[in-house]
């Protein structure tokens, strides 16, 4: 922004107008055409009005006003009709933009949300992804006013062109004088917009942090921790600091802004006076009649109003154009990273093979998972064990096709997941992730989440019972209809362990061929944990089951334990064999867990 010339900035406005037109055309071509036609017709109306005034005035300024009126009335009537038609066109364009605005805003927002959900997980790991995502969100939010701003701006141009054409036809000199009064205001507007954007640009990170902090300081999720650890004063200090930073930058910008706008207005005033003086000189020297000079004053007033719109909305469009560019750049970036791997449809797998499969995160040089060769079979319960950061969650992402391997291959039976259609893979997966979603939905939907419900609530109650949640759900005020969102009126909250049970119920409800549970019981009581692991065993014959857990007593139930150490498979086998083996990492971790 600091390097941008005024020309660079002015060039953004047509781009922004074009992008807005594209968005408008995509959501409602009829309304887009209506606005365009209205703009043209309103410009024609202004031109007709001004030329009619030009024709009427000389006739009115005759010695006998009555005769003058008789001669002038057809031109006056035309001017009135043209003005009324212009106003009607403006109202029609306003109606069309009001229909267009919400559609553009929804379409922009839906595009963003949809792209986020389709993107490869690797997109999230790209440097600065969340900043760009937030900037794009601002762009989508601003889209609600885009059509309105574009309409007012283009109308300003149309009016200006009409008035300028009429002025030129009256006397070519007038156009030059009009431009002189236009230029300082135009330049002033652009410089002021630049100051505004600079202020905005310099406060953006403070405002982003302030926004995040605001959520942390006001959400019920962190309210206990904040109070019990007496963090209020400390956090308030930080929040105040962010507010002060934004405030001081904005105040810094206020003085130059005032200076520029005053200077521009002063110069515009001087040039306007110059224009009137030129008109007076033309009349005095007989180069122009007083009537034509009167028309020129009306035309210059119209041009002045049009110019105000252009400057004001040009600055707004320039601002919005920047956000809109952020939006488009982000859409292009994420589109290039959406899951489009292949079209091969995957069936229920009997085996999952990893052949030298490894993974390196975009932000890291070293692999999170070094090449691994493994086969998992249906009917088998596999436990993944390892210290924090060993690569367990990364391995799960590869096994379930959530990410494709950076090297080697992951196959479900004979299908390489890199060539398979992602959704066809995930259809067979049931995942309880480490951080499971506390979806702000009814209890029923928290279990069924996007799945068919052929047998009414019978299956929902059955899985709730299997994870020990049936009683708790029955006791909710609305049973399965209860909204599970404390922050929403009428909503209820569950405990951490109850949410985990619900996440397990969700995975069981899917009856998946590949069941993956990443620390499913870390917040559960002993009874809940026992129940979940008993369920897993009972369900195991029909599926491939993979469990990640740090509670090593639970690992005994697995058919095979795979121990990861710094991204490598260090050992694998039956729990008892591994624990007993000399130098075993599992043995060491197990001994530590028993020592307390």
Displacement of CA 2 from its chain's centroid (Å) = 26
**# chain residues binding ligand ATP, by CB under 6 A:** 14
Helices 129-170 and 290-335 pack at an angle, to 10 degrees, of 160
Q: How far is the CB of 403 from ligand ATP (least distance, A)?
A: 10
Which CB sits closer to ligand ATP, 128 or 477?
128
Q: Is 364 one of the binding residues for ligand ATP (CB under 6 A)?
A: yes
Give 52-96 as a DSSP string.
HHHHHHHHHTSS-HHHHHHHHHHHHHHHHHHHHHHHHHHHHHHHH
Q: Is 363 one of the binding residues for ligand ATP (CB under 6 A)?
A: yes
Q: How far is the CB of 124 from ligand ATP (least distance, A)?
A: 7
Contacts (CB under 6 A) with ligand ATP, residues 416-435: 434
Cβ density class 461-491: b for 16+ within 10 Å, e for less: bebbebbbbbeebeebeeebebbbbeeeeee
Among the residue ranges 20-28, 190-198, 235-243, 363-371, the one whose residues contact ligand ATP (CB under 6 A)? 363-371
Which CB sits closer to ligand ATP, 322 or 548?
548
The only residue of 95, 238, 361, 439 in contact with ligand ATP, by rule CB under 6 A: 361
Which CB sits closer to ligand ATP, 304 or 391?
391
Among the residue ranges 298-306, 386-394, 421-429, 573-581, the one whose residues contact ligand ATP (CB under 6 A)? 386-394
Angle 366-370-375 from CA coordinates, rounded to 5°: 160
Among the residue ranges 271-279, 302-310, 387-395, 485-493, the one whose residues contact ligand ATP (CB under 6 A)? 387-395
Q: Is 125 one of the binding residues for ligand ATP (CB under 6 A)?
A: yes
Determine the length of the chain.
596
Q: Number of C-alpha atoms within 13 angstroms, CB side, residue 281?
A: 10
Which CB sits closer to ligand ATP, 114 or 125?
125
Q: Is 497 one of the binding residues for ligand ATP (CB under 6 A)?
A: no
- Which pairing describes strands 544-548 and 381-386: parallel, antiparallel, or unpaired? parallel
Q: Is 500 one of the binding residues for ligand ATP (CB under 6 A)?
A: no
- Which pairing describes strands 351-359 and 415-416: parallel, antiparallel, or unpaired? unpaired
Q: How far is the CB of 454 from ligand ATP (least distance, A)?
A: 36
Which residue in this structure is represented by tokens 């110019």? Answer: 307
563 beta partners: 385, 571
Is-contact 332 210, C-beta < 8 A?
no
Which CB sits closer to ligand ATP, 524 or 589?
589
Which CB sits closer to ligand ATP, 92 or 126?
126
Q: How far is the CB of 129 from ligand ATP (least distance, A)?
A: 10
- Which pairing describes strands 369-377 and 514-518: parallel, antiparallel, or unpaired? unpaired
Q: How far apart are CA 319 and CA 323, in angstroms?
A: 7
The only residue of 42, 152, 394, 572 in contact with ligand ATP, by rule CB under 6 A: 394
Which CB sits closer to ligand ATP, 389 or 437?
389
Q: How far is the CB of 312 from ligand ATP (least distance, A)?
A: 45
Q: What is the DSSP letter of 346?
A: P
Which CB sits closer to ligand ATP, 39 or 554?
554
The only residue of 190, 268, 368, 484 in contact with ligand ATP, by rule CB under 6 A: 368
Q: How far apart are CA 514 and CA 346, in angstroms?
A: 12
- For the chain, what percentages of helix, strand and coil (3-state, to nearest 5) are there? 70, 10, 20
Q: Is 388 one of the binding residues for ligand ATP (CB under 6 A)?
A: yes
Structure tokens at 185: 């205001």
Among the residue ranges 139-147, 200-208, 224-232, 361-369, the one whose residues contact ligand ATP (CB under 6 A)? 361-369
Helix (H, G, I), strand (E, B) or coil at 35: helix
Contacts (CB under 6 A) with ligand ATP, residues 33-92: none
Which CB sits closer to ligand ATP, 89 or 516?
516
Q: How far apart are CA 51 and CA 44, in angstroms?
A: 11
Q: Is 391 one of the binding residues for ligand ATP (CB under 6 A)?
A: yes
The only residue of 12, 353, 392, 411 in contact with ligand ATP, by rule CB under 6 A: 392
Among the residue ranges 36-44, 61-69, 383-391, 539-547, the one whose residues contact ligand ATP (CB under 6 A)? 383-391
Among the residue ranges 56-64, 313-321, 333-341, 356-364, the one whose residues contact ligand ATP (CB under 6 A)? 356-364
The only residue of 165, 208, 393, 409 in contact with ligand ATP, by rule CB under 6 A: 393
- CA distances (Å), origin 189, targets 186, 270, 271, 273, 580: 5, 17, 16, 20, 79
* 513 contact partners, CB below 8 Å, separation of at least 6: 348, 349, 378, 428, 429, 542, 543, 544
Q: Is 404 one of the binding residues for ligand ATP (CB under 6 A)?
A: no
The only residue of 14, 74, 347, 389 in contact with ligand ATP, by rule CB under 6 A: 389
Q: Which residues contact ligand ATP (rule: CB under 6 A)?
A: 125, 361, 363-364, 368, 386, 388-394, 434
């Amino acid at each position: 922004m600091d390097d941008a010339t005024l020309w660079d900035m002015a060039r953004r406005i047509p781009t922004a107008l074009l992008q807005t037109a594209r968005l408008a055309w995509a959501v409602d071509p009829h309304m887009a055409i209506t606005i365009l036609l209205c703009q043209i017709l309103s410009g024609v109306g202004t031109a007709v009005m001004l030329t009619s005034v030009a024709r009427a005035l000389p006739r009115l300024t005759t010695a006998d006003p009555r005769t003058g009126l008789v001669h002038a009335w057809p031109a006056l009537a035309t001017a009135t009709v043209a003005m009324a038609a212009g106003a009607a066109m403006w109202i029609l364009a306003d109606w069309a933009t009001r229909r267009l605005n919400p559609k553009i805003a929804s379409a922009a927002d839906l595009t963003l949300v949809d792209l986020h959900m389709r993107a490869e997980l690797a997109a999230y790991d790209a440097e600065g992804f969340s900043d760009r995502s937030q900037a794009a969100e601002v762009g989508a939010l601003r889209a609600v006013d885009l059509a309105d701003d574009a309409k007012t701006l283009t109308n300003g141009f149309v009016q200006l062109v009409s008035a300028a054409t009429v002025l030129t036809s009256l006397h070519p000199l007038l156009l030059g004088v009009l431009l002189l009064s236009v230029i300082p205001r135009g330049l002033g507007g652009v410089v002021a917009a630049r100051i505004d954007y600079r202020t905005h640009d310099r406060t953006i990170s403070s405002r982003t942090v302030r926004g995040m902090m605001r959520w942390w300081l006001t959400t019920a999720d962190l309210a206990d921790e904040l109070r019990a650890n007496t963090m209020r004063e400390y956090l308030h200090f930080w929040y105040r600091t962010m507010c002060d930073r934004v405030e001081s930058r904005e105040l810094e910008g206020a003085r130059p802004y005032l200076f520029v706008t005053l200077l521009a207005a002063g110069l515009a005033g001087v040039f306007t006076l110059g224009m009137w003086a030129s008109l007076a000189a033309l009349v005095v020297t007989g180069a122009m009649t007083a009537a034509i000079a009167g028309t020129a004053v009306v035309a210059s007033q119209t041009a002045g109003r049009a110019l105000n719109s252009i400057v004001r909305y040009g600055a707004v469009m320039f601002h919005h154009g920047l956000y809109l560019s952020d939006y488009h750049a982000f859409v292009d970036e994420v589109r290039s990273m959406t899951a489009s791997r292949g079209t091969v449809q995957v069936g229920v797998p009997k085996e999952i093979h990893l052949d030298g499969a490894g993974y390196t995160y975009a932000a890291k040089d070293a692999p999170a998972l070094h090449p691994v060769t493994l086969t998992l079979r249906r009917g088998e319960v596999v436990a993944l064990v390892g210290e924090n950061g060993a690569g367990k969650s990364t391995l799960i992402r590869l096994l379930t096709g959530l990410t494709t391997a950076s090297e080697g291959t992951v196959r479900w039976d004979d299908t390489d997941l890199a060539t398979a259609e992602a959704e066809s893979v995930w259809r067979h997966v049931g995942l309880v992730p480490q951080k499971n979603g506390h979806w702000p939905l009814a209890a029923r939907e928290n279990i069924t989440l996007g799945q068919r419900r052929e047998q009414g609530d019978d299956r929902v109650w059955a899985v709730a019972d299997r994870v020990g949640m049936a009683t708790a759900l029955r006791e909710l005020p609305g049973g399965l209809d209860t909204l599970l969102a404390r922050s929403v009126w009428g909503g209820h909250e569950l405990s951490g362990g109850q949410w985990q049970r619900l996440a397990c119920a969700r995975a069981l409800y899917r009856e998946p061929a590949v069941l993956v549970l990443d620390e499913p019981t870390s917040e559960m009581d002993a009874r809940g944990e026992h129940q979940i692991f008993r369920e897993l065993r009972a369900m195991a014959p029909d599926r491939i089951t993979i469990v990640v857990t740090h509670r090593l007593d639970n690992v005994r139930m697995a058919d095979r334990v795979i121990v990861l150490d710094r991204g490598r498979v260090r050992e694998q086998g039956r729990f008892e064999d591994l624990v007993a083996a000399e130098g075993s990492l599992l043995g060491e971790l197990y001994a530590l867990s028993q020592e307390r």
